[in-house]
């Protein structure tokens, strides 16, 4: 069943949208790019994949070509364990080939939990009387950032509830506050945003103030499920949200991120929804698709009815890791984020097999970083986390596994976003820029923040990775590393 456009009104009220903001102008033959019936048909037609066909798709992915929906459906339906091992091996090889042995780290900062929506899975839903509502003022936000900087973080994603009080003016002020907050040698050099969909004019405001990546997750691509789990509020407008990143790209924000919340509907359907979203962005914007793809799983949340009922769509660890591997083959050149929603025993296999980014020392209770004796409290946060280890422990574990923790933001500040990034990624050359910069930023972290154990393990890994570089690059990185050792900071290629 295809779905027609809603009337072009603002999601937060009856005021008409400008023509440029009307999502219907992106439609094809009057419909959005998610055809529920077609997705189900593709999954059914490819429900019994032949091993030879699966191996052909794996070979295509290894050549760094994006898969078509039917090919992704084929992989999602594999049941043979031997074939799954081949999929996992290919995913790990592709991850290594494109991105190299590094993991980008960041920390989320929740700026407010005031929200007008009624999402059945979210602790921030307007009807939840148990949550303690709060909107950080700029000094409180600066305190959160100072706490993060003291841990060694260089990247953050600011998270906002959907409410008039936390609209574009508040977000703009928040970005400025983060960039202006420094502690000694430390600072946040990249501010990403996870917020409600906006108009093109509002996106332009954020672009001009230096926004990093803009994230909007569709949550579920299945139309009827979307309607059911978003019964009221601005978020109930499916096409407004679906085309949020199209409008962001038009406003000049060429670094965008998509995601689906697993546990609302069949994960195989959501997998194809993510692919169709990627395809439509690439078709519309000259090959510029999402910089990253996320796939959080539903977790317990205070006052969220959907989290307290039997749910046939909850995704097991086994299927979760399988889906992640398929995404890596499906869009081999795109970054993938595994978050602290997941426990340690799931995060590490995901990072080894496919994922390129993760958060650490994560606190999602409002003002949680500045609070020294922090403990998870379901009445202060959107959902419960699976891994709250400190950044130093995560850096050490990654180093022991052979991964450089990257705090690098050089690519964004040098203009390697949008078409520039995609051109590099599709050639499998991200690692050529990112591994040297990962070495330099890890060295900076080790000098300023690391525990003795992490410093020892990290220093050894750095020398190993320098030795693996080409002779010319090895010498160049070694020279820059000397600058870091002499106290230089933000040294980058």
The pLDDT assigned to 151 comes to 96
How, if at all, do strands 214-215 and 190-194 pair? parallel
- Whether residue 67 is found in the same domain as residue 118: no
Compute the distance between CA of residue 406 and CA of residue 395 in angstroms, rounded to an integer: 9
173 lies in a domain?
yes
How, if at all, do strands 182-183 and 186-187 pair? antiparallel
- Whether residue 199 is found in the same domain as residue 80: no
The pLDDT assigned to 308 comes to 66
The pLDDT assigned to 425 comes to 80
**Is residue 195 within 8 Å of residue 171, measured between CB atoms?**
yes
- Whether residue 245 is found in the same domain as residue 297: yes
320 lies in a domain?
yes
Compute the distance between CA of residue 390 and CA of residue 490 in angstroms, rounded to an integer: 23
**Is residue 436 within 8 Å of residue 469, measured between CB atoms?**
yes
The pLDDT assigned to 207 comes to 96
The pLDDT assigned to 423 comes to 82
Query: Which residues does the chain have with pLDDT short of 50?
Result: 1-5
| Beta bridge pairs of residue 293 | 258, 336
pLDDT tens digits, residue range 164-197? Answer: 999 999 999 999 999 999 999 899 999 999 999 9
462 lies in a domain?
no
DSSP codes, 71-83 = HHHHHHT---HHH
230 lies in a domain?
yes
97 lies in a domain?
no
- Whether residue 308 is found in the same domain as residue 276: yes
pLDDT tens digits, residue range 196-244? Answer: 999 999 999 999 999 999 999 999 999 999 999 999 999 999 999 999 9
For tokens 């209770």, name the residue. Answer: 365
188 lies in a domain?
yes
Compute the distance between CA of residue 410 and CA of residue 492 in angstroms, rounded to an integer: 6
- 91, 113, 137: which is the final residue of a domain? 91
- Whether residue 129 is found in the same domain as residue 160: yes
- Whether residue 69 is found in the same domain as residue 155: no
- Whether residue 287 is found in the same domain as residue 347: yes
What's the structural domain count of the chain?
A: 2
The pLDDT assigned to 79 comes to 97
- Whether residue 58 is found in the same domain as residue 139: no
CATH number at residue 278: 3.20.20.70
127 lies in a domain?
yes
Compute the distance between CA of residue 4 and CA of residue 378 in angstroms, rounded to an integer: 38
- 366, 390, 414: which is the final residue of a domain? 390
Whose CA is closest to 281, among 66, 129, 485, 133? 66
The pLDDT assigned to 414 comes to 65
481 lies in a domain?
no
Length of the chain: 493
Q: What domain range is 305 assigned to?
A: 105-390
- 390, 423, 444: which is the final residue of a domain? 390
The pLDDT assigned to 4 comes to 45
Whose CA is closest to 415, among 278, 280, 254? 254
- pTM of the predicted model as reported, rounded to 2 decimal places: 0.95
């Amino acid at each position: 069943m295809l779905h027609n456009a809603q009337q072009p009104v603002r999601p937060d009220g009856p005021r008409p949208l400008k023509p440029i903001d009307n999502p219907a102008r992106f439609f094809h033959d009057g419909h959005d790019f998610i055809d529920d019936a077609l997705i189900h048909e593709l999954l059914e037609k490819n429900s019994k994949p032949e091993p030879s066909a699966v191996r052909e798709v794996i070979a295509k992915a290894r050549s760094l070509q994006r898969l078509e929906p039917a090919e992704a459906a084929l992989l999602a339906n594999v049941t043979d364990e031997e074939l799954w091992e081949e999929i996992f091996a290919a995913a790990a090889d592709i991850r290594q080939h494109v991105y190299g042995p590094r993991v980008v780290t960041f920390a989320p900062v929740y700026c407010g939990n005031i929200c007008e929506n009624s999402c059945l899975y979210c602790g921030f839903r307007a009807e939840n009387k148990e949550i303690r509502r709060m909107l950080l003022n700029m000094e409180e936000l600066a305190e959160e950032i100072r706490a993060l900087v003291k841990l060694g973080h260089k990247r953050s994603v600011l998270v906002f509830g959907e409410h008039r009080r936390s609209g574009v003016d508040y977000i703009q002020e928040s970005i400025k506050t983060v960039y202006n907050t420094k502690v000694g040698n430390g600072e946040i050099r990249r501010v990403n945003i996870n917020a409600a969909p906006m108009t093109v004019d509002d996106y332009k405001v954020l672009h001009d103030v230096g926004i990093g990546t803009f994230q909007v997750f569709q949550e579920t691509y299945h139309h009827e499920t979307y309607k059911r789990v978003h019964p009221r509020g601005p978020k109930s407008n499916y096409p407004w949200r679906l085309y949020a990143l199209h409008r962001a790209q038009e406003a000049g924000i060429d670094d965008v991120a998509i995601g689906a919340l697993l546990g609302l509907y069949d994960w195989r359907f959501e997998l194809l929804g993510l692919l169709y979203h990627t395809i439509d962005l690439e078709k519309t914007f000259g090959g510029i698709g999402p910089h990253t793809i996320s796939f959080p799983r539903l977790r317990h949340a205070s006052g969220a009815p959907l989290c307290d009922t039997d749910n046939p769509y909850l995704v097991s660890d086994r299927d979760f890791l399988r889906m992640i591997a398929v995404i890596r083959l499906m869009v081999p050149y795109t970054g993938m984020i595994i978050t602290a929603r997941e426990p340690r025993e799931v995060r590490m296999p995901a990072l080894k097999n496919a994922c390129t980014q993760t958060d650490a020392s994560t606190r999602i209770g409002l003002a949680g970083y500045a609070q020294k004796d922090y403990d998870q409290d379901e009445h202060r946060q959107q959902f419960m986390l699976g891994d709250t280890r400190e950044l130093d422990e995560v850096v050490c574990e990654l180093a022991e596994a052979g991964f450089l923790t990257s705090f690098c933001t050089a690519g964004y500040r040098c203009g390697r976003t949008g078409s520039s990034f995609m051109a590099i990624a599709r050639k499998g050359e991200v690692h050529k820029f990112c591994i040297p910069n990962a070495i330099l930023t890890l060295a900076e972290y080790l000098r300023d923040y690391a525990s003795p154990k992490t410093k020892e393990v990290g220093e050894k890994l750095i020398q190993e990775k320098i030795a693996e570089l080409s002779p010319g690059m090895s010498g160049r990185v070694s020279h820059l590393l000397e600058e870091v050792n002499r106290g230089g900071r933000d040294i980058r290629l």
